[in-house]
Amino acid sequence: MIDQTNTFLRKIPAAVIYVLALCPVPYLLWLAQTGGLGREPIRGLEHALGELALQFLVAGLCITPLRRHVGLNLLKFRRAIGVVAFTYVTLHLLVWLVLDVGVVGQVWADILKRPYITIGMVSFVALLPLALTSNNWSVRRLGARWRKLHRLTHVAVLLGGVHYVMLTKTWAVEPFVYLIAILGLLALRLPKRRLAQVG
């Protein structure tokens, strides 16, 4: 069954990910205009985009464990999922910068004074070199260094999970579910020896 699934997946172009994954954007914009995101549509849009960003970052983390433990090969979609995740992170950031805050001085003040914003910005900065090198030229140019560089994904996703937990400022269940899932997926990526030592 897994072999058949992998054969089917090989026939699907990676471009499909971009088309399907970005479909929520116009829908969210429509909801923001029509009151579908609550009394504070800008905050609602900001939250929705941030959550989608985290979901795609987590989806990217799932690819290696799925291949290693289940045999499901989604490697051809990993780059597309990463680019989509960065796109949502950027949109999340832009909504906060332009529509929510809007004042440059206040932006810097928030980054410096509010820890959850500081962590979110560090996560974004960690993703920047990954987005810039998510192309075939960079893969060829960097060689083995490309894989090492893209391990920054782990840092960025973990910080994104922490950012979400701190953002809610309450003991809401959902952010902790994301953080636990991220920690679990990172643990699954550890070599078996290290997993045995941790256990």
- Both tokens of 54, joined, read 């985290």
Nearest of 101, 116, 93, 97 to residue 169 by alpha carbon: 116
Nearest of 39, 24, 54 to residue 165 by alpha carbon: 54
Query: Could you read off the pLDDT of 16-37 as tens digits, one per residue?
Result: 999 999 999 999 999 999 989 8
pLDDT given for residue 126 in this prediction: 94
Q: What is the mean pLDDT of residues 166-170?
A: 80
Listed range (44-53, 67-76, 92-101, 163-172) with the worst mean pLDDT: 163-172
Nearest 10 degrees: Cα torsion 29, 31, 35, 40: -60
Quote the CA–CA distance of 124 and 127 in Å, as a whole number: 5
Amino acid at 149: L
Question: Residue 163 to residues 25, 103, 121, 124: CA-CA distances in angstroms?
Answer: 22, 22, 9, 11
pLDDT above 60 for 194:
no
- Both tokens of 162, joined, read 């922490």
Structure confidence at residue 122 as a pLDDT band (50, 70, 90): very high
pLDDT given for residue 195 in this prediction: 46
Q: What is the mean pLDDT of residues 39-54?
A: 94
- Both tokens of 86, joined, read 């960065």
Structure confidence at residue 106 as a pLDDT band (50, 70, 90): confident
Phi, psi of 196 (to 5 degrees): -65, -40
Domains in the chain: boundaries: 2-190
